[in-house]
Amino acid sequence: MKKTPHIEVDREGLIAETVLLPGDPLRAKFIAETYLDDVICFNRVRNMLGFTGKYKGKKVSVMGTGMGMPSIGIYSYELIHFYGVKNLIRVGSCGSYQEDVKVRDIVIAMGACTNSAYASQYGLNGTFAPIASWSLLKRAVEAAERKGIPVKVGNVLSSDVFYNDNPEAWKKWAGMGVLAVEMEAAALYMNAARAGANALCILTVSDSLVSQEETTAEERERSFTQMVEIALELA
């Protein structure tokens, strides 16, 4: 096994079949230190920290992805194709597009619309619909129900832009029932689909384009904890 350009692992077994993927590598460190036993750090390239440990006796990894589709595209591709990762679960934040999707809520992305050209590499003569793995989605919803954590399941927009030149652009997506905006799910779902792997994106709402509300750091911490606890049940 050879190191990849972005992950310095050259031995079998250092990365688990199931990997949680927060955008922020320091979140990956926090998840590993808070929830996992017998933790090793497997990646430090570009400070994109990756860890493997045990959760309730099951081996699981957690690694940062950076922000945006090009970045998660690289890390998820290398995890799947070079390290045999089968289940990729993004745990991130999103901005709400709907009145009834409030800050601190948890959104699970059943589908991921996008304004990016990521799909053009596949040469399809139509529009690909990036969707979550049904089995991961079903198990995540069941885990949330068991824990009494309410979740909203539906479409999100994976956007290439955080600062949009047209501040009204989001309303068209909202009009199509899209729940929230983030910047990575579509690329993750496409990489997984192309490779026959399983992917899911679980998000906490950090801000609302409807109410202009934003969460404080402490509030984000709490919904983040619930989201991670759902994700870890999938290991």
State the Cα–Cα distance between residues 188 and 192, nearest whole angstrom. 6
Are 201 and 112 in contact by the 8 Å Cβ rule? The answer is yes
Work out how close the CB of 99 gets to ligand ADE at its nearest, in angstroms, rounded to a whole number. 16
Active-site residue list? 207
Query: How do 151-158 and 50-55 pair as beta strands?
Result: unpaired
Residues of this chain that bind ligand ADE (CB under 6 A): 93-95, 159, 162, 181-183, 206-207
What is the Cα–Cα distance from 114 to 92, expressed in whole angstroms?
16
Supply the minimum distance, in Å, between the C-beta of residue 227 and ligand ADE.
13
Is 6 known as a binding-site position? Answer: yes
Confirm or deny that 46 is annotated as ligand binding: yes
Name the residue nearer to ligand ADE (CB basis): 156 or 230: 156
Contact yes or no for 39/32 (Cβ under 8 A):
yes
Q: Is 183 annotated as ligand-binding? A: yes
Mark out the alpha helices in the chain (DSSP H runs).
Answer: 25-35, 69-83, 134-147, 170-175, 185-195, 217-232
Q: How far apart are CA 59 and CA 40, in angstroms?
A: 11
Nearest residue (CB) to ligand ADE, 117 versus 163: 163
Closest among 48, 94, 52, 53 to 75, alpha carbons compared: 48
Task: Find out whether 92 is annotated in a ligand binding site.
Answer: yes
Is 91 marked within a binding site? Answer: yes
Q: Which amino acid is at 213?
A: E
Looking at the Cβ atoms of 61 and 215, the one nearer to ligand ADE is 215
Reading the block at residue 113, the tokens are 């619309």
> Would you say 135 or 225 has its CB closer to ligand ADE?
225
81 is in an annotated binding site: no
**What residues does 21 pair with on adjacent strands?**
90
Beta bridge partners of 107: 152, 203
Choose between 48 and 183: whose C-beta lies nearer to ligand ADE.
Answer: 183
86: nearest Cα among 108, 67, 60, 54: 60
